């Protein structure tokens, strides 16, 4: 628990600007994705928030349609929490898991873009 408190203390000055950015982007552009706001093209992570909310609501098909990699990101975040706060970075799980999930997300995005523009 002490490590969690220290982490929140270390990022305290970043929280307010991030929240201001999110609210501003959502209000002005209807999205928090800067790529989509300025180019109109979705980024690889577009739809992750919706997909995660749908997962927690039990709407599996809607989650899959929003972004099928959401479940992988949830697993990656859980592994990060276990690695950081239980193993205290002794297991070194997260960097490899993050790389694998990010790679899968980019591959899915490329596949999605090929299907959209064909």
**In this predicted model, what pLDDT tens digit does every residue of 67-117 receive, in sequence order?**
999 999 999 999 888 888 887 776 677 788 899 999 999 999 999 889 887
* Cβ–Cβ under 8 Å, residues 52 and 73: yes
> Is the pTM higher than 0.75?
yes
- Under DSSP, the state recorded for 41 is P
Instruction: Give the whole-angstrom CA distance, residue 43 versus residue 46.
Output: 5
Query: In terms of domains, do 110 and 64 share one?
Result: yes
Query: In terms of domains, do 54 and 111 share one?
Result: yes
pLDDT of residue 103: 96
Domain encompassing residue 89: 42-118
Query: In terms of domains, do 1 and 54 share one?
Result: no
CA torsion angle 97 48 21 113 (round to 10): 100
pLDDT of residue 91: 63
Mean pLDDT for the chain overall: 89
Band of residue 118 on the pLDDT scale cut at 50, 70, 90: low
């Amino acid at each position: 628990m002490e490590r969690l408190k220290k982490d929140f203390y270390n990022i305290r000055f970043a929280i307010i600007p991030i929240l201001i950015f999110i609210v501003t982007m959502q209000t002005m552009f209807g999205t928090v994705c800067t790529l989509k706001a300025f180019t109109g093209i979705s980024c690889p992570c577009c739809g992750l928030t919706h997909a995660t909310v749908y997962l927690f609501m039990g709407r599996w098909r809607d989650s899959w349609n929003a972004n099928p990699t959401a479940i992988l990101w949830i697993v990656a975040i859980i592994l990060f929490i276990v690695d950081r706060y239980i193993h205290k970075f002794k297991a070194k799980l997260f960097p490899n898991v993050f790389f694998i999930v990010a790679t899968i997300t980019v591959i899915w995005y490329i596949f999605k873009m090929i299907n959209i523009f064909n």
